[in-house]
Each structure stands twice: as structure tokens, then as C-alpha cells.
Structure 1
Amino acid sequence: MAAAAGEEVKVPRIKLGSQGLEVSAQGLGCMGMSAFYGPPKPEPDMIKLIHYAIDRGITHFDTAEMYGPYTNEILVGKALKGGIQEKVEIATKFGVRFVDGKREVCGDPAYVRAACEGSLKRLGVDCIDLYYQHRIDTRLPIEITIGELKKLVEEGKIKYIGLSEASASTIRRAHAVHPITAVQLEWSLWTRDVEEEIIPTCRELGIGIVAYSPLGRGFFSSGAKLMENLADGDFRKFLPRLQPENVEHNKSLFERVNDIASRKGCTPSQLALAWVHHQGSDVCPIPGTTKIENLKENIGALSVKLLAEDLAELECLASSGVKGDRYGSGTATWQNSDTPPLSTWKSA
């Protein structure tokens, strides 16, 4: 059963990866405050939300250069100024930039360095706690990009290196150049592909797992009704899983989750988030929200205890399948993130 309304659950801390990083067991994804989920939200409200999260024990804040672009990092920097930065872990990302109005994945060393300098300035910090490659540049050997990140670690500009949406082979090759602390990936009751190869690879190498969209882009909060309340410009309107031809099939998954949640005395979103938390002590989900009430609900998921039979039931329904891909065609993801061999690159 989840914590009662008003009951203050404090978010505990976990070790993320095996290089020494510690974070709150649940983080806060900040993207939706500034980008992709409709118009940017009022800055004072978002700063208040971030401060509330800190009061409840959340110290792991996730942003990226491309969120805005740039505006989300500026917002997070404002919210954490005045010495607060020293008490939290800021994770940001490079690797997706806009060139002539078009989105481009890039891992070039010169860009990596320039992007890092830009993020440091916008966040108002001297060192980034966790710096991810947001998407993998499949034109460039991963060793080239990680080599530049290694230099940034040595220079004290970043503490830990992460990858986002990377294939297992890319993770292995990157880790051989410099230890990877965390891999960020989409993992939820309806996104399970990563369990086949990527999760085992991370665990073999001692790499922490950061799960984004653990609530299925909000689907496990309200089911098919989600689509009725999306603002203009919200990119979820275009996601294959949320298209009319797929929602009818997928809403049955939400209904079954809702039934189990009712028996457990929690909300469906708390159950879905609790499932992610129960996947291991090396997993840190980073649900995003722009509302304090939703943040309270997300934190309450930490008090939902799932028994073996609960997990088995959820496993059974999750295995029944979801209709529609995660993204539309052409989006670079872990599924195609292998890069050229370094030996080939050197001889070119």
C-alpha cells in the first residue's frame, strides 16, 4: 500500500554504478518543464517544484542541452543556485544539436567540449556530476567521443560519464575507454526490449541504470484519457503507441494495471513506478512532472511493496504485448547505435 495522502515519505539514496556516484533512489526528469510536452511552464512554478523535490529527498535532476534547446538547463541552474548545487546531483546530456533548424546527432570531440562548456555556464556549476551522450553518433567510433569525455573528467569538468540509448556493443566499447557510470534508457511496463541484452550488459559491467519514461509517457497515469488533455505542441500526440489505431489495444494494459493497483491500495501510476523500483537496487527511475501533486504521488510509489505474486502478475500482463513502436521512424535509438570500428577509423 502506498503512503497515505499527506504522509511525508523521504526518498532514500542509492549507489548508481560502481564508480562512487550516489543519488536519490528516484530522480526528477525536468524535460517537460521546458520542452516537448507543450508550451514551457511558468518558471517560478517549476523552481518551486524543484525545491519541493529537494525537501522530499530528491537530489538527482535530469536535463539536457537539447531541451529547449538550452532553456531547461538555464531553468535548472536558476533553481539550484545559491549553494544548492553542492547538495544535489545534476545530470545533463550532449549529443543532439540543431544545425540550420534540423536535429543532428553528433559525437565529434570539438562539439563535445563546446557542449560541455555551454552546459557548465547555463547550469552555473564548475563540474557536471553525470554527463551523458544523449544519442550515439553512428558515423564516429564511440572510442573517439569517450576519449574526449575522459579528458573532461581529467580536467575536472565532469565527474561521471553516462550513455543514453546505447546498444550493448556500444556500451562495452565505451566502457573499455573509460568506466561508464550509468546508462539511461526507456524502461517501463510497456517498454521491455532492454531486458534482453542491454540490462544484462550494464549489470555485468557494474553500470547503473537510469529509467526514463517509467510511466509510459504518462499513459500509466490516466490511460487513453491522456490523449484528451495533451497541449498543442505536445510530441506525444505523434507517438505510435498513442495513435487511435493502437490506443484501443493498449488501454487494456492500463485497465489491468488499474485493477491490480486498486487491490494494492495505490494508483496505477504508483504501481507502474513501483514495478520499476522493484527491478533492482541499481535502477533509478526519473519520472518527469510539472505538478507538485504528481510529484507527491510519484514519491509515494517508493512505499508500494510488491510481493512475488504481484510481480508475477505484472510480468504476465506486461508480456502480453503493446501495440506500436516507442518512436516514429527515423529516430535514433539504442536499436541502431553501433558505431564504426576504431581500427577502420584510424586507417581512413
Structure 2
Amino acid sequence: MKLIVTGGAGFIGSAVVRLAVARGHEVVNLDALTYAACLENVASVADSPLYSFEQADIRDRAALDRILATHQPGAIMHLAAESHVDRSIDGPGDFIETNITGTYNLLEAARAYWVGQGKPEGFRFHHISTDEVFGSLGDTGQFTEDTPYDPRSPYSASKAASDHLVRAWAETYGLPVVLTNCSNNYGPYHFPEKLVPVVILRALAGQPIPVYGEGLNVRDWLYVEDHADALLTVLERGQLGRSYNIGGENEASNIDLVHKICAILDDKRPGPGAYADQITFVADRPGHDLRYAIDPTRMREELNWRPSVTLDQGLERTVQWYLDNEPWWRALQDRHGVGERLGTKA
């Protein structure tokens, strides 16, 4: 299959690109190369005859039309998005423009291309979203594909809006779509402003490891390479018009996650003291959702897919990757806002 992957130089998008090329798909990586993108993420496949790159912004309709006409893909996997909740609190405009207007432009470009090609039966528009659109859970329960939307941050609201647009284009225009909503990802190439790499890099630097509130917020943690496998599974075998929740089946509170990472670092790179001694509780993020958890029944029963990596395995692999790839993360730490406390302007 020939794929266009939007956001293919980002964290999740690059994992999809690497895996798709490894499986023999022809991949066009469409990325605007904003602050969180890094072409080093796809360096391992950059010389493959199956890989090509187009620098373009999904807000640029003319560029999208040109790229679709040039490459004539059999599917679009839409991952390009502004995704950091704290940044959305400080500057929601970028999230509205990219996640909503950008998705609209891509849908219209895809629809025009699909119609122009004679509405080929095998074409797919796969929209990748987040479990944050469902809001916050209490101590029990899980998100299913039928959970009502209840977004609570500018980021999750913009992603919820994009989900609604994709469903509307399927219902109104017949565009062949599938949707997925994932839980928190982690793993190699994770941009240094997100929780897991922040903990690793602050610990190694001997700096305070910030934990919001009391660290009791719970997430379902999904290893990024498992997620890439699930996304290709949905693209190839998912039912048109259907959504699929993808989870890691690995719930953990933030404070427990931080302690796990510190313990792995204690073993792999012992310091003068226990890394957990660097944990520092800081003021919580505005509107911080208490708990997310995914019910993975549909993925398991319809598509026979389950995650293969446990949280302990994935964290060990992730910590080792950061220890082995210092030049990668050093180069990103000077980018705009990385290392600063964000999300306080509310």
C-alpha cells in the first residue's frame, strides 16, 4: 500500500513510518517540521526506496492538493497535530488552527482526490486521536468507543472537534474513514517536554524531577511501537466508519511511574544517591484530568490485537534508549519552551 503519513517526523508518526516501511509499504512523510518534529526520527528509513518526504503544513490546502496528485496514495494516516496539553493552555490558537482547520483542509483535499480518482474502493482516511476527548474518569470505569465526549483542555477540545469533522465527512460525503483514540504513549524518540523523558533527563542532570500535584493522576501507558502496530492493523482491517480505542492495558499513577523510572536509572546508571530523592511536587496543571483508562475489547475481539509490551518492559527499553542516544535529545533541549514550566497562564 502507498501511504501518506501526516506528522511523520513526530513521535508517534515516525514510529508508524519506520514500521510501515519495514513491512514493505511505500510511505510519504508529510510534515511541517514544527518545533516537536525531528527528521532524525526517521533516519533509519530515509535511504529506503519506499520512503519519501514532503515538507508541508496541513493548513496549506494548495500544498496538500499538489502532494496528493503527485503521490496518489491508497491511504492517508493523519497524525499531524499540536499535542502538548500544557502548551495548549498557554497558547490555544495553534491548536485550533492545526488540529481543527488543518484537519478540515486535509479532509477536503482527501475528498477531492478520492472523487477525482473515481472513489477507489480500497482508499482509507485514518484519523488518529486521543482518549483525552472523553474527559476524566473516577477511580473506576474505562472509556469505550461509545463514551460521550467531554474534553476539558484546549488540546482535547481541538482533537474532539477534529474527530467530529472526520465523522461528518464520512456521513455527509461518504469519505471512507476509520478512527482511533489512543492512551498515553511513551518510548524511543519521545520529545523531551513530555513526562517520561522529562523524568529521565531531569534525573540524569541532577535536577528536581517535577510531579504535578500529588502525582495521583492515572494514565494507561501504551508503548509507541505497539501503537504503530495497532494503527496499521486498523488501517488494513478496521471496519469503515468505525472507531477503535487503543490502550496499553498498563494503568499507573504518575508518581508510581516516576518511581519506576528512577529505579531503572538507579540500576543502569547509579548516581551519588537514589534518583527518587530528586522528586519534587509542584503546583498542579489547570484542569488536570484525574484518570484515563481504555477498554480494549473492540481491538481485541474484532481485530485480534493486544499490546505486546508491559509497562516495566517498555520503561526499561525507553530508559536504555535515552541513555544510548544522548546526541538526539541534547539537540532538542534548546528548542522553544523545552525545559520550561508551561501551562501556567490560566
TM-score range, shorter chain: 0.3 to 0.5
TM-score (norm 2): 0.33
Higher relative contact order (CA closer than 8 Å, sequence separation 6+): 1
TM-score (norm 1): 0.33
